[in-house]
Amino acid sequence: MYTEQKSTITTFTLITPPASQTANSIALLWDKPVRASVERYEVYVNRALVATTENTDYTLLGLAATQEYEIYVRACVATGEPLQSNTLNVETRPQSQVFDIASYGAVGDGATLNTQAIQSAIDACSPGGHVYIPEGVFLSGAIFLKSDITLFLDEGAVLLGSPDTKDYPLIDTRWEGLEKTCYTSLINTPDTAGGRLRNITIAGPGKIDANGSKLRKKELSEAAGKPGSALSIRNTDNVYLQGITVRQSPFWCVHIVYCNGVSVNGVGIHTKYDEEGNLYEGIVNGDGLDPDSCSDVYIFNCHIASQDDCIAIKSGRNAEGRAVGIPTENVRISNCRFTSGFGVAMGSEMSGGVRNVLVEDCVFHDAFSVASVKAIRGRGSVIENITYRDCTFTNQNLELQDTQWFRGALYVDQFYGDLAFDPHQALPADEGTPVIRNILFQNITLDTVAGNAIYLTGLLESPLENIRLENITAVGKHGFIANNVRGLVLDNVSVEARDGQAMRFINVK
């Protein structure tokens, strides 16, 4: 729990994200002070300076259980007095009872199947308890978490997915925006028959390896259901992922569906290569992290190297997604690093709506895009109030060129996936006509050898609305293409094309 003390000198807002307080740690996030050139931030606990950082997040470690801490942050600026945040009073969680999976018969030899032993530890775990995975490689099929539980993987611990489909029962769950019969994931939340779970933490520094190269091949060959994920967390309030590494999923890696209050802190996700750069064979649609019809989502201090979208914000597909009608909203992604894949995407499954998303202070290296905002005919609903700012992007990877799935380093595309199309042919607007509006790209430097630097293309019957670019320096193989945009504002934008003209605008106002 925490409370906030107001102060007359408060100049920026400090929060502790949902569920991100443990028995010995507290995660912090804060906004940047407006119109201030900050040199560093100082973190104070009980009025003593404990850390300095250039980032807008910090995790306090080594705290005492069940103790209240007074916390505030000061921003040291180039000139003048430091600026101060509001003050939080945050209490750490109680020290929890530990349920070691080894005490339930689990063997970390990489060969013994431990599904039942791990599930027994989970089932026995008391509210607020820890299910502990020690050092070793623990082979397992699908396991199911419950409310008020922490799954903790110690240093050297690996939860390794079984390669056998018989260890993953079939369930009905959302898959690419529609309810489908699917193989269960390695880590799941159960179907609660309309109820909701609460307070689930999965923490590291251990690793979760879904064994996707082997498992996906078997799932596709048997075709009894769609491939599963590494983690599938559904219908849960207060989810905290901290410190773990998740890798090699048969499908999307970390899929969070119908959840409220989600914090992802210091997590590594690898769906194309392992941490040493060894390629995973046969992984397709290997998104890193997909918040899907979720609210109040905080993703910070993470590293994602993806086979597909690094982060993809979704909310269902077409009529089914509109009928469910649960948006993904109030999302903050900050201080993250992306080293392969397609950056941070909105859509294309977005039929419940996507709104109020901030992507800030992120670095993209040899990924193919910073931003991909995509909503095609048939989806309906709205993507709105999206900001990408203070990001840098460099791409020297020629593996992927301009395709129907990738049209630029910054792109907003309502013909995503269409190989051949006429952007200037209108169709009648209906409930499946999507709207994209109020997008800000600000303080971004990008340089790519593949595709367009910037690509904005809306529907003639539903043009992109209110797209603003401020302080953008962009170099691409091609330049800046815009079609069907109403309310395009360019403020201090520089675009250079290595091949062809720098800018080409049609039906832009």
On the question of pLDDT at 1 being above 60, the answer is no
pLDDT at 9: 55
pLDDT at 364: 97
**3-class DSSP state of 198:** strand
On the question of pLDDT at 508 being above 60, the answer is yes
How large is the average pLDDT for residues 212-220?
A: 97
| Overall pTM surpassing 0.85 (yes/no) | yes
How large is the average pLDDT for residues 409-438?
A: 96
Q: State the Cα–Cα distance between residues 374 and 321, nearest whole angstrom.
A: 15
Domains within the chain, CATH numbers bracketed: 2-91 (2.60.40.10), 309-509 (2.160.20.10)
On the question of pLDDT at 193 being above 80, the answer is no
Whole-Å CA distances, 489 to 428, 445, 471, 486, 492? 27, 18, 11, 9, 10
Q: Which DSSP symbol is given to 120? A: H
Whole-Å CA distances, 37 to 33, 55, 82? 8, 13, 11
Cα dihedral 31, 36, 41, 42 in deg (nearest 10): -100
pLDDT tier at 496 (50, 70, 90 boundaries)? very high
How large is the average pLDDT for residues 208-217?
A: 97
Cis peptide upstream of residue 229 (ω within 30 degrees of 0): no
How large is the average pLDDT for residues 115-142?
A: 98
pLDDT at 34: 86
On the question of pLDDT at 311 being above 90, the answer is yes
How large is the average pLDDT for residues 29-34?
A: 94
On the question of pLDDT at 7 being above 60, the answer is no
On the question of pLDDT at 99 being above 90, the answer is yes
Per-residue pLDDT reduced to its tens digit, 228-248: 999 999 999 999 999 999 999
Per-residue pLDDT reduced to its tens digit, 368-404: 999 999 999 999 999 999 999 999 999 998 887 788 8
How large is the average pLDDT for residues 187-208?
A: 93
Residues ≥6 apart with Cβ < 8 Å to 253:
210, 229, 230, 231, 246, 247, 269, 271, 286, 287, 288, 289, 306
Task: Determine contact, residues 444/391, Cβ cutoff 8 Å.
Answer: yes
* Averaged pLDDT of the chain: 95
Higher pLDDT, 404 or 460: 460
pLDDT at 6: 44
Higher pLDDT, 277 or 188: 188
pLDDT at 10: 62
pLDDT at 61: 98
On the question of pLDDT at 5 being above 60, the answer is no
pLDDT at 3: 54
- Exposure b/e, 95-134, CB count within 10 A at least 16 = b: ebeebebbebebbbeeeeebbebbbbbbeebeeebbbbbb
Report, in angstroms and rounded to the nearest whole number, the Rg of the chain calculated over CA atoms: 23
pLDDT at 470: 98
* Cross-strand partners of 391: 444
pLDDT at 78: 87
On the question of pLDDT at 8 being above 90, the answer is no
